[in-house]
Amino acid sequence: MKLIKVEAHGFKSFADPIALSFDGGVAGIVGPNGSGKSNINDAIRWVLGERSAKELRGDKMDDVIFQGSATAKAMNKAEVTLTFDNKEANNSIPHEIFTISRVLERGNGSNKYYINGEECRQKDILEIAMESGIGKSSLAIISQGTVSDIAQSTPEQRKAIFEEAAGVSKYKFRKKEALTKLARTQEGLEKIDIRIKEIERKLIPLRKQAEKAKIFIAKSDELKQVEIGLLVDNIKTFGQKYESLSQELDGVQETKSNLDERIKECETKISQSTSFRIEAQKQYEELDTELKQINERLRNIELVLKEETARERLIAQGEISASNEERIAAYQKLAQAHTKNIQQVDRQIQVLSIRTSENRAALKKAEEAISLLNIQKNKKENDLTKIRTHLQVLEQQKESNTLLFKGTRTILENKTFFGKPLKGTVADLIKIDNQYIRAIDTVLANATQHIVVDKSETAVKAVNFLKQNDGGRATFIPLSSIQAKYVRDDHLLGIQGHPGFVAIAADLVTTSSEFDILKKFLLGNVIVASDIDQANKIANILERRYMIVTMDGDTIRPGGVIVGGAKDKTQSLLGFDEKIKELQGLIPGINAQIQLILTKLHEVENSRKQSYELDSSLQSQISTLISKKTNEQNALDSFEIKLNNLNAQIQSFNNQNKENTKSAQNDLEILNTKKITLESELSAKAQRIKLLNNDIEQTNLTRNDYSSTLNQLVLSYANKLSEKDRSKLLLDQSRERLAAQYKMTFESASQNYHLELPREQAEEIVRDLREEIDKLGNVNIESLEALIEEEERFNNFSKSFAELSEAKHKIEKSIAENDKIIISRLTSIVDDVNAPFNDVFATMLGGGKAELYWSDPNDILESGIEIKAQPPGKNIANIKLFSGGEKSLIAISLLFGILKARPLPLCILDEVEAALDEANVVRYAEYLQELKAKTQFLVITHRHGTMSRVDSLFGATMQNRGVTTFFSLQLADAKKLVADEQKEMDEDI
């Protein structure tokens, strides 16, 4: 490979483009100091991949770009191109002529390499240089400093020259890369080994956990199969029972309504019969009074008839005297007195009759009031029976804890075992106003049964207790572990003025200070709204970050899910004690109302009794007055009869007497007839009163039977209602458990799951499976997936480890093979150079001998190369003791010896002969001619002995200060140019 052209523009002092063409052999470049002739050396080194600015005599790489001068502006780009003839070369370049270029731009850091104009990597350039033996560390570019370094360097440093000459640079480079790869591979192996060991440590417990998880899943699947079957059966059973009880309750309710209607009919009938009886009694008493009057009149008429009969006998005997007129006058006077008395008695009777009517009206009102009070009393007694029944049901539920889950019930029944650390259920520890119970109950749901404890250790103790006693499952809230939840202040400010905002749920709950953290943990970030529309608006404002519950129990969950609609009226644990207290509080009030009704009833009955007594007294007085009136009337009738008789005696003594007697007899017959009629009516009225009394008594008995039946029915209704509520609770619990635990509806579960075993056997299997699952302890379900992932990682890392181990083995093998090549080539180069070195040394120094040897022949890779030189007439062992010229000759002799043994395609010599005297310069230059057949030389020099013996010569000058130009010239011109340039420089100085 031969360098045929160097082109540069903007590199160092080459402000103007330069182009130097070479034909091979020895080309010289001359010029005074500071003319820029050595910049050709730097340009070639730079384009061949030099990365150190200091090696190019700069501080930073931008310094190789032309910096400007008095006559030329600074440039922003440096470019150098080398053109090679590759016809006879043995390298990877598939072109007979090829170029390599490097371009550097100031400021942006652009630094690009090109081969034949195609951009490439720096590594590609370095590989070409190493393949051709013109790399950075080779003998292709030798300066005066390099010669000094060869003489003064250590054996190890000197060895680098031989490595380049032996062509092992690329092997060392490969070895360096291989060692880097080996180090990375070893590092990767170590990292992978660490990972593998970490994974192995994880796999041991993971496999155990996964095995336990498999058992857990199998048991859980079996449990799921049986338990869902049980839950489906529960839902069917309790659903049917609920429907059956609902129908029975509807029937009971209908029967109760019928009984209420019948009792009401009885009350109405009793009231009507009582009114009829009072009216019949009144009529009876009036008829009885009238009958007594008729009887009295009959007796009087009979007496009168007897007297008239006697008087007729007296008249017939002539015993009536003339005193009849006086007697008439006396009779009239007495008749007037009796008439006045009768009128006075009638007035008294009228007053008493009015009082009787008033009293009987009051008596009727009393009867009606008694009937109404009895109805009220029965209603209150029914209400009291219902409340006591409901209260009894609630108290039984509380005592038996039927509303609680099994686990919660077990813990509370053994509360003394845990003592003070067990605080109670959430429902027991919080108090809520009735109007907010539905909202809070919706939020808490089953959390009302969660058991609050002091710390997590108590919770663990309780869990173990449940496991040991097959007590079911429960949820525990350790006060020491929970933290309060809040609505952010800025969010709260944004909704406080909203019309639908009610409060933060935690603010609607009261607890003791000890449990303040509990309510904030459960409800601190829950917002209560008035209704679902307002809740939706608030949710939009808060971007659905919080749970919002309405007063009716509808909810909007975080994220936007809305739950709502009609809710079954099942018994809630919240306010359970308050409900019991409320019912207990109603009983005294109803008892007081019943007592008040009884008091009023007693008062009205006393009033009725007094009215009956007054009526009896009034009737007695009226009877007395009627008797008195009858007596007066009888007396009046007697006097009238006597008066009539006397008148008759006067007018028609005999005939008239007969007529009067006949009239009396007629009156007697009329009165007897009327008496018979009255007696018949009186008997009928008495029978009517008797029938009414019997009817009232029978209706009272019927009403009492109905009331007794109603009370029993109410009790039965309450029991059935309690049983219905319990069936509904168990039905809802089964549905909720199916939804919460298995995420299934009854409809989907009933299609796929059926209870194939007897219920008792299935429940036993469930208990056994739960016990087996509980014995498994904590199960990490994720361990199955984690195991797969870790085993996959283990396999991948193991595969990578095997691959890296194989790669490491290959790298180590390639390094060993590389080392063999390096040792072979280094051994060969030293052996091959020794003879030429000795020949050149003798030629250059006019005799003597020189030799190369290894510092440590047993370790060629690490050994340095020693130089043993003996000029003519001297016996100096240490090369450092030679003079400067002798050191340069020894170094040059070594370089030429290497070039003879391993010729390079190109060698650049930059003033390497500067330290030699003129005679040795001539020897140096002549030796170049011997070597030029196999090596192209580019010699930078200012020595006449060298310039006179080159094949072509280029001059470097700075016609414009700071800018180098080149031109071809003859030897004489070169001498003159050098002298003139030197003179000008001296004058400037």
pLDDT of residue 639: 65
Whether 929 maps to a domain, the answer reads yes
Lowest mean pLDDT: which of 99-108, 619-628, 788-797? 619-628
* Cα–Cα distance for residue pair 536/94, rounded to 1 Å: 78
Q: Is the pLDDT of residue 137 over 60?
A: no
- Percent of the chain beyond pLDDT 70? 89
Burial class (CB in 10 A: 0-12, 13-18, 19+), 599: exposed
- Listed in sequence order, the residues at least 6 apart from 867 whose beta carbon sits closer than 8 Å to its beta carbon are 158, 850, 851, 852, 879, 890, 894
Which residue, chain included where needed, has tokens 């990365």? 51
**According to the model, what pLDDT value does residue 529 have?**
95
- Of 285 and 30, the one with more pLDDT: 30
pLDDT mean over 255-276: 82
Please determine, for residue 654, whether its predicted confidence score (pLDDT) is greater than 50: yes
Enumerate residues 6+ apart whose C-beta is below 8 A from 150: 158, 161, 891, 894, 895
- Residue 549: CATH number of its domain: 3.30.70.1620
Mean pLDDT of 928-945: 91
pLDDT in tens, 470-527: 888 899 999 999 999 999 888 989 898 899 999 999 999 999 999 999 999 999 999 9
Res 511: pLDDT = 92
In whole angstroms, how far apart are CA 282 and each of 125, 142, 604?
146, 161, 21
**Domain end call among 527, 544, 570:** 570
CA distances from 356 to 7, 285, 349, 604, 974 (A): 155, 12, 10, 18, 174
45 in a domain, yes or no? yes
What mean pLDDT comes out for the span 90-111? Answer: 84
More confident residue, 7 or 400: 7
If you average pLDDT over residues 935-940, what whole number do you get?
92
pLDDT in tens, 304-324: 777 667 666 655 555 444 456
102, 113 in Cβ contact below 8 A? yes
213 is written with which tokens?
């998880």
Give CA–CA dist 651/386, Å, rounded: 91
Whole-structure pTM value: 0.43
- Please say whether the beta carbons of 66 and 75 come within 8 A: yes
896-907 burial code (b ≥16 CB/10 A, e <16): bbbbbbbbbbbb
194: tokens are 């660490």
Q: How far is 364 from 361, CA to CA, in rounded Å?
A: 5
Cβ proximity of 953 and 978 under 8 Å:
no
* Listed residue (262, 51, 185, 244) closest to 807, CA to CA: 185
pLDDT given at position 402? 58
Identify whether 402 is part of a domain.
no
Q: Report the chain's terminal Cα–Cα distance, integer Å.
A: 43
Structural domain contains residue 861:
no
* Tokens of residue 560, six digits: 């936007």
Domain presence at residue 775: no
Per the structure, the count of domains in the chain is 2
923 lies in some domain:
yes
Cβ atoms of 981 and 31 closer than 8 Å: yes
Under 8 Å between Cβ of 300 and 632: no
Instruction: Among 570, 591, 614, give the residue marking a domain's end.
Output: 570
Residue 600 has which token pair? 């009023």
pLDDT at 89 over 70: no
Q: Is the pLDDT of residue 449 over 90?
A: no
Looking at residue 774, its amino acid is D
**Spatial distance between the Cα atoms of 21 and 467, rounded to a whole number of angstroms:** 99
Q: Return the structure tokens found at 874.
A: 């001297």
Instruction: Give me the mean pLDDT over the 31-44 stretch.
Output: 88
391, two tokens: 């209260």
Tell me whether residue 552 is in a domain.
yes
Report yes or no on 258 lying in a domain. Answer: no
Which of 520, 537, 570 represents a domain boundary (last residue)?
570
pLDDT category at 820 given cuts 50, 70, 90 is very high
| CATH assignment at residue 61 | 3.40.50.300
The answer, yes or no, to whether residue 899 has pLDDT greater than 60, is: yes
Structural domain range at position 91 = 1-140+910-961
Using the predicted structure, report yes or no on whether residue 940 has a pLDDT greater than 70: yes
Q: Is the pLDDT of residue 533 over 90?
A: yes
pLDDT number for residue 754 = 79
Which alpha helices (DSSP H) does 488-575 contain, by range?
489-495, 516-523, 532-541
- Which tokens in the block code for residue 629? 């009136």
Mean pLDDT of 588-598: 88
Binding site for ATP: residue ranges?
32-39
Question: Which pLDDT score is estimated for 989?
Answer: 46
Q: What is the pLDDT of residue 658?
A: 62
What is the C-alpha to C-alpha distance for residues 174 and 505, in angstroms, rounded to an integer?
Answer: 75
Place of tokens 């007081």: 592
Taking residue 736's Cβ as centre, other Cβ atoms within 10 Å add up to: 12
Binding annotation: 32-39
Upper half-sphere CA count for residue 590 (Cβ side, 13 Å): 19
- Residue 60's pLDDT band (cuts 50, 70, 90): confident
pLDDT digits (tens, 9 = 90+) for 838-851: 999 898 888 888 89
| Planar angle of CA 941, 945, 951, nearest 5 degrees | 70
Radius of gyration of the chain (CA): 70
